[in-house]
């Protein structure tokens, strides 16, 4: 059985490695995901991760296990994906300044026609930001490939006063939930970690 990560996110690759998942293949979905209007943020990330998972699973070999994920930020009813420009990144950060927002990640597992989709939600509180601080953070370039225009595992940690929930979900992959989902497909992540340590 091969494990396929349907994402080009380096953060998700690092988290899978941290979980002890051995020798997985990265095969990002190539299609443009589309979701029906009117979905809640939780429904949206589940729908988008499902589309990614099914697309990659359609080209997988029998027995292969596909892991797909999608992350968005929601604040006061507004859903924030990845910014398309530095101006949009600054606007997103201004919207998050001094507020609590929610990070949603949908995760889908696919193997041989079996599909499981779930999501995780984490509350994140930003400290109030000045226009100068927002401009300085945008100038680092870090916001440009991240939902909500920040990375909690990078310089964006300087903006976060606190979180409630799964930290790794904010990075882009809810590790604890994924571990439970993998177990339903017969993959014991802790046993894989133990085997990895024995080999070292």
Catalytic residue among 23, 64, 70, 112: 70
The three-class DSSP label of residue 145 is helix
Beta bridge partners of 116: 109
Beta bridge partners of 107: 69, 118
Q: Is 188 a catalytic residue?
A: no
Helices (H) and strands (E) in the chain, counts: 7, 7
Please list, residue by residue across 33-58, b when 16 or more beta carbons sit within 10 angstroms of its beta carbon and e when fewer do: eeeeeeeebbebbbbbbbbbbbbbbe
Candidates 117, 116, 137; CA nearest to 126 is 137
State the DSSP code for 109. E
The three-class DSSP label of residue 161 is strand
Catalytic center residues: 70
């Amino acid at each position: 059985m091969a494990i396929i990560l349907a994402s080009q996110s380096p953060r998700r690759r690092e988290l899978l490695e941290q979980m002890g998942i051995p020798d997985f293949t990265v095969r990002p979905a190539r299609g443009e995901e589309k979701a029906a209007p009117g979905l809640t943020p939780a429904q949206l990330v589940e729908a988008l991760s499902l589309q990614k998972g099914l697309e990659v699973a359609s080209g997988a070999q029998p027995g292969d296990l596909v892991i797909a994920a999608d992350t968005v930020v929601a604040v006061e009813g507004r859903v924030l994906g990845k910014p398309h420009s530095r101006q949009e990144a600054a606007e997103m950060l201004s919207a998050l300044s001094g507020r609590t927002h929610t990070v949603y990640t949908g995760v889908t597992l696919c193997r041989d026609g079996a599909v499981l989709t779930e999501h995780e939600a984490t509350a994140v509180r930003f400290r109030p930001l000045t226009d100068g601080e927002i401009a300085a953070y945008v100038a680092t370039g870090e916001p440009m490939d991240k939902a909500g225009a920040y990375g909690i595992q990078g310089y964006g940690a300087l903006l976060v006063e606190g979180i409630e929930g799964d930290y790794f979900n904010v990075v882009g992959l809810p590790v604890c939930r994924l571990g439970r989902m993998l177990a339903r497909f017969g993959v014991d992540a802790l046993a894989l970690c133990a085997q990895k340590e024995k080999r070292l």
